[in-house]
Structure formats: structure tokens, C-alpha cells
Amino acid sequence: MHLFFSTPVWINELNNSLKNFLTLHDKSQLVSKLRLVKSSEEIKYVKAIKEDIKWLGYLWEKECYASDYFEQLYSWANYLIDNDLAYIDSQSSKEIADQKGTPLIPGAASPYRNRSIKESKDIFLEMAEGKYPEGAHVLRAKVDMSSPNMLLRDPVIYRVLNKPHHRTANKWSIYPMYDWTHGESDYIEQISHSLCTLEFKPHRDLYDWFLKVPSQTLPVKASLDDEFINLRFLNYRKAHLRPEGKP
């Protein structure tokens, strides 16, 4: 288990120390949940994470999996298509990457960006039914190809993956990407505070965009300072919880 994944468990135990932080946001407690976000959720990793949490001396209140929400995520993806906020791109992954641009140069729009809603809907359904090989099509959110945040340049949110899943077996031939799954799962579970390490800060804009379309309640987001993790020593007094927008 990644060291950071254990921090919500510790923070839940240190609830009293966070009383002022929680009161500021009108929340009385942090609820610790174990959720596997990777769509693959390979069973060996599931078992390892559970064992690590138990080794730390904790038990979770509720066990959740991203795959619990595949139906809802698929429905919301169709909502995006219906509202011209997502489209099916039939380019190769290399072609898509080449069009992304650089942090200083805007990206180029895909030739499929203005594909009709009906055609994108039809292909997306066929992708879900397993009618295409891997790499044939992806579903991309229609965000902003000129955004300085390259993660907003029409990110892929679904791809074909013709592999069985340890919880859903062969039901799905498409799987959601992490950024799409993360925020929507937080909303479904009514997560009040979303914690991340600083390297994930650029993902926040995409997290917010996905949750605002359709309109959903945004969790309070906070960064855990890099000082939290010291290679030689761990000390919760080094944790700096910073509500978004605060220095």
C-alpha cells in the first residue's frame, strides 16, 4: 500500500486534532472509507491493501470499490455525450498525444471533436458491448484544448479494455479512467474532504470540471505538505492541512 493511502486512516484517528479545521467547514468528523479506485482492482492488490491497513491496527467503516459505480459512471458519461461535452475519438493514442501541444503551445483539436452526438452515442454503446478491439476508440471529455493545464485538453475518460474484472467478470468491455472515476466516486460516497499529495494538484481543475457537469457538490480539497513524509521519521505534527485558496 502506498504510504499516502494510510494518511486518511491516521487523520481519522487524529480527529480531535483537526477539530478547528473541520469546524471551519461545518463538518463534525472525517469518515474513513476504503475504496479501490483503479478500474483493474486486481485481487492481489486488494488483499495487500487490506492486510496493510489491518497491520497498522485499523479497520475501515465501509469497503467500497470503483467498480460498485460502473453503471452510474457509464450513465453520467452518456450525459456528457448527450450535452455535447464528450465525444468518441477514433485516433490512435500516439495521434492524440501528438495533438496535446506543450505547456506553452495550445493543443490541436481532434478531427473527431465535432462528431455528431448520435454517432458518438452509437459507438460508445458498441464499445460497451465489446464490438471493438482495444485502441479502436476512446471517449474524451470536451473541455479546452488551449488550457494551460494540459490535463484539461480533452482528457480520455473511457477506453476499450477487453479483459475480465475480478468483481464484474466479463460484464464490461470499457473501463473509466482514474480522473473520471475519482471525483464521481467521491460524490456518490458524499466525501466531504478530498486529500491529495502535491503532485496531484494539477488534477484538481479536472476533478472540479467533472463534478460541475452535471452539477454536483464539490468536496473540500486540501493538500498534504511534502514535509508530512520524511524518509527517516513520521510525525503527524508535521502535517499541514491547507484548505484550497489558503496560503
Q: What share of the chain is helix, strand, coil (3-state, %, to 5)?
A: 40, 15, 40
What is the amino acid identity at position 204? R
Asked if 222 and 77 touch (Cβ cutoff 8 Å), the reply is no
Is 6:52 a contact under the CB 8 Å cutoff? yes
pTM, rounded to two decimals = 0.76
Bridge partners (DSSP) of residue 89 are: 138
Q: Which helix (H) or strand (E) holds 33?
A: strand 33-36
- One pLDDT digit (tens) per residue for the chain, 247 residues: 555 556 665 655 555 444 444 444 433 333 344 444 444 446 777 788 788 878 877 777 777 788 889 999 999 999 999 999 999 999 999 999 999 999 999 999 999 999 999 999 999 999 999 999 999 999 999 999 999 999 999 999 999 999 888 888 899 999 999 899 988 888 888 877 777 777 788 898 999 999 887 665 555 555 444 444 443 334 333 444 434 443 4
Closest CA to 106 of 174, 153, 154: 153
- Per-residue b or e along 75-84, where b marks 16 or more CB atoms closer than 10 Å to that residue's CB: ebbbebbeee
Residue with cell 463534525: 28
CA dist 81 and 117 (Å) reads 6
